């Protein structure tokens, strides 16, 4: 009953993920309708219910455009858990300021990258030019697409794909 269910707005835009239990309650109260049943059925004493995979809300929900939270985990995720200097995928990753803070570097999406501890130590408190190092990709704030937001659940829920593309 805790499988993830994709929640679509009235215009079929993906807005959230909820549990199967919550989705069934929304359907039974008339606040949502079943779009896809990819998981079989739930049998109660007196009734059988379809186990939802995707539901659609009956009324449009206005929400402010979400932004990716600026934190350590999201920087690692943006960089693919890969050192941006040497490309290694070790478990010993750190964050590195491209322009060191003592030289005026900011704590921002554009100045923080994932680095292995060896590269971080090698670069030290120097700029890229001073250390003779190069970045594999230019650091940017991740674009907020439905694929990025719901990426964690998208692999095991292939039926969500048509609803996540294009948003």
Structural domain contains residue 150? yes
pLDDT tens-digit readout, 29-39:
999 999 987 77
Q: How far is CA 157 from CA 14, 33, 35, 50, 141, in A?
A: 14, 19, 14, 17, 26
Quick one: 53 and 20 in the same domain? Answer: yes
Quick one: 51 and 126 in the same domain? Answer: no
Q: What is the pLDDT, as a whole number, of residue 166?
A: 66
pLDDT tens-digit readout, 112-156:
999 999 999 999 999 999 999 999 999 999 877 777 777 777 667
DSSP state of 116: E
93 phi/psi in degrees, rounded to 5: -100, 150
> Is the per-residue pLDDT at 167 higher than 70?
no
Domain of 110, CATH number, reads 1.10.30
Quick one: 95 and 149 in the same domain? Answer: yes
> Is the per-residue pLDDT at 17 higher than 80?
yes
Quick one: 104 and 51 in the same domain? Answer: no
8 A C-beta contact, residue 109 and residue 139: yes
> Is the per-residue pLDDT at 104 higher than 80?
yes
Cβ within 8 Å of residue 83, ≥6 positions away? 89, 90, 93, 114, 115, 116, 119
The pLDDT of 50-57, averaged and rounded, is 90
Quick one: 27 and 105 in the same domain? Answer: no
Structural domain contains residue 59? yes
Quick one: 146 and 88 in the same domain? Answer: yes
Number of structural domains found in the chain:
2
Quick one: 86 and 144 in the same domain? Answer: yes
pTM: 0.67
> Is the per-residue pLDDT at 84 higher than 90?
yes
Residue 1 binned pLDDT confidence (cut-offs 50, 70, 90): low
Query: Which residues constitute the domain of residue 109?
Result: 68-156
Helix extents (H) in 29-116: 72-78
Chain centroid, CA 69 distance in Å: 10
């Amino acid at each position: 009953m805790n499988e993830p269910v994709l929640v679509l707005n009235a215009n079929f835009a993906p807005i959230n993920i909820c549990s199967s239990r919550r989705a069934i309650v929304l359907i039974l109260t008339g606040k949502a309708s079943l779009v896809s049943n990819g998981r079989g059925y739930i049998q109660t004493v007196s009734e059988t219910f379809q186990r939802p995979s995707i539901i659609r809300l009956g009324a449009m929900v206005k929400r402010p455009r979400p932004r990716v939270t600026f934190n350590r985990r999201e920087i690692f995720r943006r960089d693919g858990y890969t050192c941006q200097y040497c490309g290694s995928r070790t478990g010993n990753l750190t964050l590195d300021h491209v322009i060191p803070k003592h030289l005026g570097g900011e704590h921002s999406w554009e100045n923080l990258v994932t680095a292995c501890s060896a590269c971080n130590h090698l670069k030290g408190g120097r700029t890229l030019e001073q250390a003779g190092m190069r970045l594999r990709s230019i650091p940017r704030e991740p674009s907020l697409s439905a694929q990025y937001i719901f990426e964690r659940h998208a692999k095991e829920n292939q039926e969500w794909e048509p609803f996540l593309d294009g948003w």
